[in-house]
Amino acid sequence: MENFIVSARKYRPESFRTVVAQENITATLKNAIMSRQLAHSYLFCGPRGVGKTTCARIFAKTINCSNISAEGEACNECESCSAFNTNRSYNIHELDAASNNSVDNIRDLIDQVRIPPQIGSYSVYIIDEVHMLSQAAFNAFLKTLEEPPRHAIFILATTEKHKIIPTILSRCQIFDFTRIKVNDIVHYLEYVAREENVTVESNALNVIAQKADGAMRDALSIFDQIVSFSGHNITYQDVINNLNVLDYEYYFRIVDCFLKNQVAESLMVFNEVLENGFEGQHFINGLSSHLRDLMVCKDPVTIQLLEVGGDIRERYRAQAATASHEFLIEALRLSNECDFQYKTSQNKRLSIELTLARIAQLTLKKK
């Protein structure tokens, strides 16, 4: 049986040009390499799954490459690159600070830093989740981080920059990685699907990208999960069934009921949602998002904020054209108020039903 490699590992970027949606950071790192202006310590911070550790590894490989291209990319052919690509490089050392956070672990690292590299010019030390280091470990690390040997470069990575002590921050060049946009995730998933011979509906990829919440690693993990569920032909229905996502259709239906002042019908749509096993707060949170998307469709300037594609986008435009700004803003206020008060409500279902009834009455007042 052939060993399966998860997509997050199989399609992990191996060069700066293949890193998704972090162009400013990769351009800065390449310029530093080309101009030979390398700092001795870097701090990569940002949300999970956006490429911090990946960029650290690419950077470490590239600065040790003996034949860097004119674009600032590693050649992938020299001895150093070959050693890195086959996971046998002694120039790159990774430490998980979540499980190695004591002062003794840092002292062992400091002793190791003194040893020069056998191949290449630099020994690179990547410390992941660096905010997990103890106070004593941080203090033991300070002097080495400020004045390491000429051959040593530290790359610290964290999802929680605010937990890093100022004395560490002041010794590093800081790179802030951003959440990856839905469209960028969708385009990369389309590439992965082509490589894996998977046919997939565009609306399905859009749901996966939104569920990933800006993290490419999460998106690829969800993609693998859906492929396991539905095989090599993925539909929108497969995705919403597997990920327990409420179908857009419920929200389009209930807003149509609101606009026609149909209180009873809107309550029946909500009852259908509950009978299908969805939580009330899940529904009201999704309703707020739907109303927000309708609001951004009202203005050509803000329509770019709508993170859906294909025929769903056209349905949003059509429904937005039938709703007034005043209705959408007041409906958003009521749904958001219900979402905020949901956890403390003694009768949660009644709380949502009352909100739906109030929203359905909004347009009636103008008649």
Q: Which amino acid is at 201?
A: E
Edge-to-edge order in the sheet of strand 92-96: 92-96, 123-128, 152-158, 41-45, 173-176
Element (H, E) at 137: helix 135-146
Say what the pLDDT of residue 354 is: 92
- Indicate the pTM of the whole model: 0.79
Superfamily of domain 7-176: P-loop containing nucleotide triphosphate hydrolases (3.40.50.300)
C-alpha 83/C-alpha 124 separation (Å) is 14
Maximal CA-CA distance, the chain:
82
Residue extent(s) of CATH 1.10.8.60 domains in the chain? 182-242
For residue range 4-55, list pLDDT tens digits in order.
Answer: 778 888 888 888 888 888 888 888 988 888 888 888 889 999 888 888 888 9
C-alpha 342/C-alpha 285 separation (Å) is 10
C-alpha 205/C-alpha 239 separation (Å) is 8
Residue extent(s) of CATH 3.40.50.300 domains in the chain? 7-176
- Write out the DSSP string of 76-110: S-SHHHHHHHTT--SSEEEEETTT--SHHHHHHHH
- As a CATH number, domain 248-366 is 1.20.272.10
Q: Is the separation of the CB atoms in 108 and 140 below 8 Å?
A: no
Work out whether the CA dihedral 222, 223, 227, 230 comes out positive or negative. Answer: positive
Residue-level length of the chain:
367
Say what the pLDDT of residue 3 is: 67
Residues 219-240 as b/e (b if ≥16 CB within 10 A, e otherwise) read bbbbbbebbeebeeebebebbb
Residue extent(s) of CATH 1.20.272.10 domains in the chain? 248-366
CATH of 182-242, one of 1.10.8.60, 3.40.366.10, 3.40.50.620, 1.10.3720.10: 1.10.8.60
Q: Which amino acid is at 209?
A: A
Pseudo-torsion of CA 308, 293, 216, 245, nearest 10°? -80
Element (H, E) at 124: strand 123-128
- Write out the DSSP string of 214-233: T-HHHHHHHHHHHHHHHTTE
Work out whether the CA dihedral 254, 255, 256, 259 comes out positive or negative. Answer: positive
Give the pLDDT means over successive 10-residue stretches in the chain (367 positions).
73 86 88 86 89 89 84 82 81 82 82 78 86 84 82 89 86 89 88 88 84 86 87 84 81 90 90 86 89 86 73 82 89 90 87 91 67
Pseudo-torsion of CA 237, 238, 242, 248, nearest 10°? -20
Say what the pLDDT of residue 318 is: 86
Closest to 29 (Cα-Cα) out of 9, 51, 12, 49: 51
Parallel, antiparallel, or unpaired: how do β-strands 173-176 and 152-158 relate?
A: unpaired
Helix (H, G, I), strand (E, B) or coil at 36: coil
